[in-house]
């Protein structure tokens, strides 16, 4: 069942989503060559705790850290580590999920570390466009599959691939709720959107093939062919007329 949030629940979703977005903006200033993903984790953890919230990933199904940090060919679910130091030319996705007043807010962004080559920048730019084009189809009466259809069309136009195994998701009182938002789908498939639904759009776009594998730590997902992967994520509310991006700050 897909939960429909009440006015009050939507207010609380907005609060937790704003906190997640602020955390992502806060950490951006620390993303530089020489810092470790373990240190980035600790900074986010402290920031979230100070607001009276908790980081949703910590101990979620055994995940050991407070944020996910996914570098280069890591598609998602990278575990922060003090041994993993950012280098010039890396791309780094930081995924923040906060739990505040019983609601989760989820957002992520791929950052450029120092001088990134133009081809890689293009992948990151197109991954952002893929998320936005998926979001733009959202309105009551549209289908969840319409999102993935729009995402895949744009990704394939650029000869990139779309990861299938990891999806967007309903979000609210639970971190992952129904529906699943598949990012490579057919138009008109899946559940129909209704006002009050909240879910994420978070396409993972690979420069090479779509195939992925999970590393021996049981979490990190990488591209099988070692190609680079980029991702962006927002939490969205379906409104009476369209959508609202709950994890978007006014100043970016």
Residues of the shown chain interacting with Co ion in the complex, contacts defined by CB under 5 A: 95, 106, 108, 200, 233
Give CA 51 to chain center in angstroms.
Answer: 21
Distance from C-alpha of 198 to C-alpha of 182, rounded to nearest angstrom:
15
> Shortest gap between Cβ of 155 and Co ion (angstroms)?
18
| Binds ligand MF3 by CB under 6 A, chosen from 11, 32, 33, 60 | 60
With b for 16 or more beta-carbon neighbours within 10 A and e for fewer, the 69-89 pattern comes to: bbbbbbbbbbbbbeebebeee
**Looking only at residues 162 through 221 of this chain, which bind ligand MF3 when binding is defined by CB under 6 A?**
169, 202
> Shortest gap between Cβ of 217 and ligand MF3 (angstroms)?
11
| Binds ligand MF3 by CB under 6 A, chosen from 84, 95, 146, 177 | 95
Size of the site for ligand MF3 (CB under 6 A): 12
Contact 220, 185 (CB under 8 A): no
The residue range among 61-69, 86-94, 145-153, 178-186 that interacts with ligand MF3, by the rule CB under 6 A, is: 61-69
**Whose CA is closest to 148, among 179, 110, 194?**
179
DSSP state of 78: P
- The site for ligand MF3 (CB under 6 A) is made up of 57, 60-61, 63, 68, 77, 95, 97, 106, 169, 202, 233
């Amino acid at each position: 069942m897909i939960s429909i949030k009440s006015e009050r629940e939507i207010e609380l979703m907005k609060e937790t989503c704003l906190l997640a977005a602020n955390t992502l903006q806060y950490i951006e200033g620390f993303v530089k060559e020489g810092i470790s993903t373990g240190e980035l984790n600790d900074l986010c953890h402290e920031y979230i705790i100070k607001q009276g919230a908790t980081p949703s990933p910590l101990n979620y199904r055994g995940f050991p850290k407070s944020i996910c940090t996914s570098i280069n060919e890591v598609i998602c679910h990278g575990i922060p580590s003090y041994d993993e130091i950012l280098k010039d030319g890396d791309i780094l996705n930081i995924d923040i999920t906060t739990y505040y007043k019983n609601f989760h807010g989820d957002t992520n962004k791929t950052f450029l570390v120092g001088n990134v080559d133009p081809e890689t920048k293009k992948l990151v730019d197109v991954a952002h466009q893929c998320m936005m084009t998926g979001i733009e189809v959202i309105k009551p009466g549209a289908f969840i599959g319409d999102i993935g259809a729009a995402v895949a069309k744009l990704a394939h136009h650029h000869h990139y691939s779309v990861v299938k195994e990891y999806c967007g998701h309903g979000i609210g009182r639970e971190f992952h709720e129904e529906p699943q938002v598949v990012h490579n789908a057919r138009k008109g498939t899946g559940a129909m959107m209704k006002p009050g639904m909240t879910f994420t759009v978070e396409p993972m776009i690979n420069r090479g093939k779509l195939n992925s594998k999970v590393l021996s730590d049981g979490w990190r997902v990488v591209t099988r062919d070692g190609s680079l992967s980029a991702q962006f994520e927002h939490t969205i509310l379906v409104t009476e007329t369209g959508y609202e991006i709950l994890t978007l700050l006014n100043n970016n």
